[in-house]
Amino acid sequence: MSTGHQLAASISVHKTEATLFFTLLQLTVIVLAGRIGGILAKRVGQSPAVGEIIIGILLGPSLFGLLAPDVFDYVFRSAPPEPMQILSQIGLILLMFQIGIEFDFSHLSERHNRKAVSRVALAGLAAPFALGLTFGWVSAPELSPQADRLASGLFIATAFSITALPILGRIMIEFELTRRPIGVIAISAAAINDVVGWLLLALVTTLTLSRFDALEFGTKVVLVALVMAVAWYGLRPLMKLAVRRTRHHGHLSPHLMGLLLAAIFLCAMATYKLGIFAIFGGFVMGVLVHDEHELVKAWKERIGHFVSVFFLPIFFTYTGLRTNIGGLDTASLWGWCILTTLLATLGKFGGTYVAARSCGLGHAESSVLGIMMNTRALMELIVINVGYDLGVISQDMFTMLVLMAIVSTVVTTPGLRRWLPRMGLPVPGRSAPDQPAPEQARQTP
């Protein structure tokens, strides 16, 4: 080998090692910070995901980059961003798969309280979507001038409409609401919101990527529907067969886990090739196998915890690096930010509250439903990252929506602690004498 080739190889190895060093440094900081954020959140009565989201924001230019810019640049700017971006996207694909397998479709066929569920679900979608579309259309020239007004409005409308079903489910377990009528209504309506929300996101993404060309949009929709049909009638039976063939004394083999990972990535590649984001493929695969309980259990035991501990904080920090609260440096921008949060809350909480009252629920019960349906968290961050990647929302609008997602999630726990006693329901961890007298509300139908 010539001296020139040896020198080039040496430089290449050095660059690779340097990139690896800084990637490992970033991962060390992210994973440890995520654990600390989760622990602190639990200590103040919040979901661990809330702490991880906030820590992710603080690791970005909003705090870390502001207080220690040199150290921030050394940790997060010394190497190309591609390794962390790829890890974030792989993690998001696996997270979307987990969202798919955790989805309980039995809620959608729940007969009890069907009137309340249908009204709450409809109002919890229609009201925030209408407000978000109007707000996005009006604010786009000011906040996202680079974007098409309709595209910006549609993404903000979708972001306003989403409910964070996984985190809401965990909060309901903590408050022992899963078996109560109010909990059944909330989780069923949120499930419908999630199904429609993801369909909306896929549809709006397809519409935006087709540049609102009717023929191109129609072609993409047909292709997506075709892939879904092939996955449901072709891939789903194959996965079920693989589960049966690899079952051994009630355990599933490592070979099946490898096959499942390959299937997830193939689905992600398929949706990417269709012109929509690869993360949708992860969700589709999760839905395909959600009723294979042994497979779901094996995934959670062997891979799920690693995804939550490793990949979830990476996604939150990746979002945090894109979020610059310091960029909202004028009273006007903070006014827009407050208005964003108020309108999102008004649409979700207000729409749910009015629908619940129209079904005969009391003030406290309707308030509890509104608070729970307004929880956004991780789901919101996924939507707005897609919008940001497409360029239909600016960094300022991205930051505003991140803050709205945090606020809507943080207020859920204290809101439930305030209103559940007024329904006559106990709050776990609070002594009975501290419980206010229940308000005279109508019985949940």
Q: For position 440, what pLDDT does the model report?
A: 41
DSSP string for residues in 141-161: HHH-TTS-HHHHHHHHHHHHH
Reported as a pLDDT band with limits 50, 70 and 90, residue 437 is very low
Contact 110, 327 (CB under 8 A): no
Q: For position 441, what pLDDT does the model report?
A: 41
Q: Would you give the DSSP letter of residue 2? A: -
Q: For position 111, what pLDDT does the model report?
A: 59
**Could you read off the pLDDT of 12-65 as tens digits, one per residue?**
667 888 889 999 999 999 999 988 998 998 888 787 878 888 898 899 888 898
Closest CA to 369 of 381, 380, 354, 383: 354
Q: For position 32, what pLDDT does the model report?
A: 92
**Could you read off the pLDDT of 74-96 as tens digits, one per residue?**
999 888 888 888 988 898 899 88
CA distance linking residue 217 with residue 132, whole number of Å: 22
Give 421 or 48, the one with higher predicted confidence.
421
Looking at every residue in the chain, the average pLDDT score rounds to 84
Q: For position 101, what pLDDT does the model report?
A: 83
Q: Is the pLDDT of residue 421 over 60?
A: yes
| Proportion of the chain above pLDDT 90, given as a percent | 28
Reported as a pLDDT band with limits 50, 70 and 90, residue 125 is very high
Whole-angstrom CA distances from 422 to 168, 343, 351, 441 are 20, 26, 21, 9
Q: Is the pLDDT of residue 337 over 70?
A: yes
* Radius of gyration over every alpha carbon of the chain, rounded to an integer in angstroms: 23
Average confidence (pLDDT) over 288-311:
85
Contact 384, 160 (CB under 8 A): no
**Could you read off the pLDDT of 140-193 as tens digits, one per residue?**
999 999 888 999 999 999 999 988 877 787 788 778 787 788 887 888 888 788
Reported as a pLDDT band with limits 50, 70 and 90, residue 351 is very high
Average confidence (pLDDT) over 339-366:
92
Give 111 or 198, the one with higher predicted confidence.
198
**Could you read off the pLDDT of 245-283 as tens digits, one per residue?**
776 555 667 888 888 899 999 999 988 887 777 888 888
Stretch among 105-119, 205-219, 307-321 having the lowest mean pLDDT: 105-119
Stretch among 111-115, 117-121, 300-304, 404-408 having the lowest mean pLDDT: 111-115
Q: For position 301, what pLDDT does the model report?
A: 82
Task: Give residue limits of the domains in the chain.
Answer: 83-434
Q: Residue 206 corresponds to which amino acid?
A: T
Q: Is the pLDDT of residue 408 over 70?
A: yes
CATH architecture assignment, domain 83-434: Up-down Bundle (1.20)
